[in-house]
Amino acid sequence: MKKFSRRHFLQSASAAVGVSAVGAALPSFTTACKNKNTVYDGKKLNIALVGLGRYAGYLAEGLQEAQYCRLAGIVTGTPSKAVDWKKRYNIPDANVYNYQNFDGIKNNKDIDVVYIVLPNSMHKEFAIRTARAGKHVIVEKPMAITAADCEEMIDACKKAGVQMAIGYRLHYEPYNMEMKRLGQEKVFGQVRLVEASLGYKTGDPNEWRLKKALAGGGPLMNVGIYCVQASRYITGEEPLSVTAQFGPITDANLFKEVEASVTWQADFPSGALANCTSTYNCGIDRLYASAENGSFELSPAISYGPFRGKTSKGELHFPETNQQAVQCDEIAKVLLAGKQLPSHITGEEGLKDIKVMQAIYEAACTGKKVSIA
C-alpha cells in the first residue's frame, strides 16, 4: 500500500468528475433556500475561527468561495499567525482575539458565529464560552472527548439561546449523501454489511493528535469518527453494541499515549453489521456497503477527494465540491433564515458519535461486547 502523509491526505483534492443529478441526496433546505421568495438582503453571516492550525486554513480558503458567510474574525494564541492572517484575509484589528481576551467577542456585533478548530479537549471550554458570549457555535468533529462534555455544551447553548453545529462536512458531500440515500431508501434492499476504513501514516512525535490529554485518543478520535458516522447514516440506525480490538503498537516511542489503530464491529437493530478500522499506520480511505440485492462503495470515500464510487449497476458520477464552502454556506442559510439547524449536524448528533466511540474504547480495553445506551 502506498504510504502518504497527513498533509498529502488532506490536500488530495483535484479536478471534478462527471456531473449527475444530486437533488435526492441533498438536504431539503438546500432547495428551500434557493427559492426566489427567500431574501437575505445581501447579508453574509460573519464567522470567526478559533485556532489557526492546518484545518482552519482549509476553512479559510472555503470561506473565500462561500456565498452566504465570510471569514470575519480570528482567535489565536500565536501573535505571528495573527499578523499573517490579518493581512492575508483583510481582518480588522477589532476582530482579532487571543485565548485570554476571547470573551470580549460578546460585544462584537461583527461576529455572528464562532467556529472552533482547536484540539479536541479544548472544544468544551470554547463552545461554552462562545455560547455565553451569545454567538452561534460550530465545533469541528469530534464534538468533545466525553459524552458528559457534549451534554454540558448542549446545555450551555440551550441556556444561552444559541445554536450549535458540528463540522460534519460529509453531510453536504454528494457522493456520501448518495451512499446515505442508497442505504436508507433500501435501493438494493436491506443493508447487511458496512465496511469503513480510514487512516494515514503518521510520524511526527510532536503532533498534538498523539497526546491523549489533547486528542482524547488516537485515530478513532480523529478519522475513526467518519467511519462511525458512515455506518450510522448508511443504515439510518443507531448501533446496539460493539466489540473492538486494538492493533499492534508498531512504534513504542510514537504511540506512548494513544492507540496506533483500532478495529471494531457494531451490530444494528435491522441485523446489519459494521466492520470498521481507523489507523495511523497506513493510508486507507474506503467505504463499502453490501445489501440484499447489490452493493455500493466509494474509494476514496471520506477524505477531501476526489471521490470515486460505484454500485452493482455501474459507476457513480457527481460534481466535486469545495466541502468547507458548501458546509458553511448551508449552515449560514439556515441561521440567516432564522430556522433551526437540521438534526444531522447538531450537538445531539455529535453526542451520539461520542457515545459510540466511548463504547469502542471500553470494548477494546475489556475484550467484551459493550452495549450502547
The residues carrying an active-site annotation are: 141, 226
DSSP-derived pairing of the beta strands 69-75 and 241-246: unpaired
Q: Which residue is associated with the grid cell 446515505?
A: 180
Q: Which residues of 114-138 are buried (b: 16+ CB within 10 A; e: fewer)?
A: bbbbbbbbbbbbbbbbbbebebbbb
Name the E strands within the chain.
45-50, 69-75, 96-97, 113-116, 136-139, 164-166, 191-199, 241-246, 261-267, 273-279, 284-291, 294-298, 309-311, 314-316, 370-371
* Alpha carbon of residue 215 to chain centroid: 15
Q: Cα 276–277–278 angle (5° rounding)?
A: 135
Query: Are 51 and 57 in contact, with CB atoms under 8 Å apart?
Result: no
Q: How many residues does the chain have?
A: 373
- Pair 101, 33: CB distance under 8 Å: no
Could you tell me if 243 and 363 are in contact, meaning their C-beta atoms sit under 8 angstroms apart? yes
Cell numbers placing 140: 469541528
Q: Is the dihedral of CA 300, 305, 306, 310 positive or negative?
A: positive
In the chain, the amino acid numbered 1 is M
Per the structure block, which three cell numbers stand in for 189?
434492499
End-to-end CA distance of the chain: 38
CB atoms < 10 A from the CB of 187, how many? 17
